[in-house]
Amino acid sequence: MTTPSDSADIIPAEAESVATTASSQDKLDKGVRAEAQRRRTFAVISHPDAGKSTLTEALALHAKVISEAGAVHGKAGRKSTVSDWMEMEKARGISVSSTALQFNYRSTEASPDDLTDNVINLVDTPGHSDFSEDTYRVLTAVDAAVMLIDAAKGLEPQTLKLFQVCRHRGIPVITVINKWDRPGQTPLELLDEIHERIGLTPTPLYWPVGIAGDFRGLLRRGEDGAPREYIRFTRTAGGAKIAPEEVMDADAALAKEGSEWVTAAEESELLSATGQDHDQELFLGGQTSPVIFASAMLNFGVRQILDTLVELAPPPRAREDVTGTPREVTDPFSAVVFKVQAGMDTAHRDRLAFMRIVSGVFERGMVVTHAQTGKPFTTKYAQTVFGRERSTVESAYPGDVVGLVNATALAPGHTLYFEKKVEFPPIPSFAPEHFSILRAESAGKYKQFRRAVDQLDSEGVVQILRNDLRGDASPVMAAVGPMQFEVVAARMKAEFNVEARMEPLAYALARRTDPQSVDELNRQRGVEVFTRSDGVLLALVSDKWRLQYIQKELPDLTLEPLVAAAD
């Protein structure tokens, strides 16, 4: 029996234990919050040939994680960028797969007393429209985006589409007008185009001195549009090294650049008169976009892009789960898988599942729960990625991108968590528009063929459709763009030693259906029903007129549009 005096002894001890636990948790939360504040996780989006991979390389160069930019232009001795690792990418000079690069960077704007580096998680994305689904997956994992625009071409269709995805997801956008070292439009024309075509108010932070094709430097704008300073750049051989910068005040800039400086200063003041000065709240609210002029090829303006990201881009924030409840960054560990990629390392033939840390602390080896199956998942083999180079990661924080090796149970959109249960919304699939039968050239390599198909399907390279009529030996590939089929053929040969033959199918539309509609749909001319790997029934239809006829004559059949993720 416990006496009053015993209780008096026990209660303070229990209270002290609770207080100690609360204190430890508070310390942990502060640590996680501080680490999250250091992180900037963003993607670079653009139209093909806007210079996206070159900019990615230039950012890494300015962060001093590489000593020389990989893009050496000129046909002889051309190198590929660190973010383009597939042979197809190197051969064509385009990005067809997203890659992640993590590095530390200390802003030049940081206080001399602040010796803490920021952690940059940069996810390079495919620029080609055929791979827009891969880009969309990346945009589910970032907190900000850099929209790269070619100074000569302005806004192009793919850039517009990707911006709409950013707007839909509430991702703030920083605009970089690239290739200012080449002839192009006037800066005011480009700003007008941005405002008129996408409804964003551009708010330049830096203004070019010198017309497009005569890029001398950048005027750094003050709050009222008055020049704060002039940053003059000096070219380096081939743009392989960081371009030296000379910082001048307005008087020195006028003496150096004359009329070009006067023009830049007048245009900067005009921007202020029309309300085009930066407002952080409007930027985070998706109403404005800070603008920087640059030449990624020459490494002009690249430091300013990094400094702007550190200063203005938001750190990791709470993320809503499937019920709409926010998962705070200080909650126990959780992460969302946004990409699965195999074939990055020919020496190991393994597969990486890229996850974005949403909350808490990740520690290598921790046993977490796979939300989609409810099963435990061990994270023994965890790596950070820099292009195709990897290193083992022991711990990671909200905003970080971590690769899990040979995580065969994981697919894009899956959730991992520790202790406090959570599941994040799945990543929608785009509606496919191109269809092709896939067959192995050699019947003797059927096992390798099946393994390759399953691998590429799980990565989301293409959607794989099957039905009893065609059988497993002749699955149908469904894709947003035909170049996805080329990637399948190239990777099957390189990674599985399987020669594949493709036969286009004369279908143009895919519609979701149900088991009750299958038999009748299969009796219709120009229609064939398949089962996708996730169990969804898809009816492929030859053209929109055939679809309209069936919907009119057989209105009880289920033929639902596949809503594109960007809608």
Q: Whole-angstrom Cα distance, residue 28 to residue 31?
A: 5
Beta-carbon count within 10 A of 28 CB: 13
Instruction: Report whether 534 belongs to an annotated binding site.
Output: no
Does the annotation place 21 within a ligand binding site? no
Residue 483: CB partners within 8 Å, gap ≥ 6?
Answer: 96, 128, 130, 131
Distance of CA 540 to the CA centre of its chain: 30
Give the bridge partners for 203, in sequence order. Answer: 290
Indicate if the alpha-carbon torsion angle 223, 224, 225, 226 is positive or negative: negative
> In angstroms, rounded to a whole number, what is the distance separating the alpha carbons of residues 166 and 160?
10
Structure tokens at 495: 């990674």
Give the CA distances from residue 397 to residues 27, 403, 510, 530, in Å, rounded to whole numbers and listed in that order: 15, 13, 40, 41
- Using CA atoms in the order 337, 339, 340, 341, what is the torsion angle rounded to 10 degrees? -150
What is the helix, strand, coil percentage profile of the chain, to 5? Answer: 30, 30, 40
CA-CA distance, 171 to 42, in Å (whole number)? 9
- The reply to whether 126 sits in an annotated binding site is yes
Tokens of 210: 């010198």
Q: Is 128 annotated as a binding residue?
A: yes
- Residue 423: which residues within 8 A CB-CB, separation 6 or more? 321, 322, 371, 372, 415, 417
DSSP letters for 189-251: HHHHHHHHHH--EEEESEEEES-TT---EEEEE-TTS-EEEEEEE---GGG-SPPPEEEE-HH
Q: Residues annotated as binding site?
A: 124-128
Q: Residues annotated as binding site for GTP?
A: 124-128
